[in-house]
Amino acid sequence: MFSKLSVVVASVLVTLAAAIPNGTPPPPVTPPTSSQCCNSVVPSTNAAATAVAALLGLDLSGLSVPIGLSCSPITVGNNCGSTTVTCDAPEEEWGGLIAINCLPITA
């Protein structure tokens, strides 16, 4: 009787483990709304972008958007000496290390 119970419990645990997603989902990609000054903008498949994302617990696999690295918001009087882009508003917890879906601002 106990062997049947252990088989049932093991089956349930295997089913639950398969149903739980592995890792965190990729960050959502929404239309860019935040003007940013980024040190560089690279593809989401770039090694530097994936390394920074991994440090922050983000999974960029499956995304095909430009990623801004080392970004800060553009404010009045703030002169951007790097790449001026409009990105998804970066999350506060990312600390300006990464921004998603960065498109160049053209004047």
Q: pLDDT tens-digit profile of 5-35?
A: 343 334 433 333 433 444 556 666 766 778 8
At residue 70, the 3 state secondary structure works out as strand
In this prediction, residue 23 carries a pLDDT of: 57
Look up residue 72 and give its amino acid: S
pLDDT (tens place) for every residue of the chain, 107 residues total:
444 434 333 443 333 343 344 455 666 676 677 888 999 999 999 999 999 999 988 888 888 999 999 988 887 776 787 888 998 877 777 888 999 999 988 76
Distance, in Å, from the CA atom of 92 to the CA atom of 77, rounded to the nearest integer, reads 22
